[in-house]
Amino acid sequence: MKKKACRKCKLFTEDDVCPVCKGQTFTTNWQGRIFFLNPKKSMIAHEMDVQNEGEYAIKVR
Ligand SMILES: [Zn+2]
């Protein structure tokens, strides 16, 4: 089964509530994945507006 990603912040989670943005809408319709260890030092994380460490989808629908 495909992982689900938060629609709002794109974090992958198994929870019913996103631990980062507290969003409750998820999608399995995503493309690409990226792991940020140190998002505050990453340009890509900055462009994606990622503040927290974790695995994120690059694109969600
Ligand atoms: Zn979220």
Instruction: Find the 30 Cα to ligand 1 centroid distance in Å.
Output: 14
pTM: 0.89
Instruction: Find the 47 Cα to ligand 1 centroid distance in Å.
Output: 16
Burial of 11 (0-12, 13-18, 19+ CB in 10 A): buried
DSSP string, 33-56: EEEESSGGG-HHHHHHT--S-EEE
Count of the separate structural domains present in the chain: 1
Instruction: Find the 7 Cα to ligand 1 centroid distance in Å.
Output: 7
**pLDDT tens digits for 46-61?**
999 999 999 999 999 8
CB-based contact 11:17 (threshold 8 Å)? no
**pLDDT tens digits for 5-45?**
999 999 999 999 999 999 999 999 999 999 999 999 999 99
Q: Which domain holds residue 23?
A: 5-60
The tokens describing 42, both together, are 């990453």
Cα–Cα distance for residue pair 37/50, rounded to 1 Å: 11
CATH number for the domain harbouring residue 25: 2.20.28.90
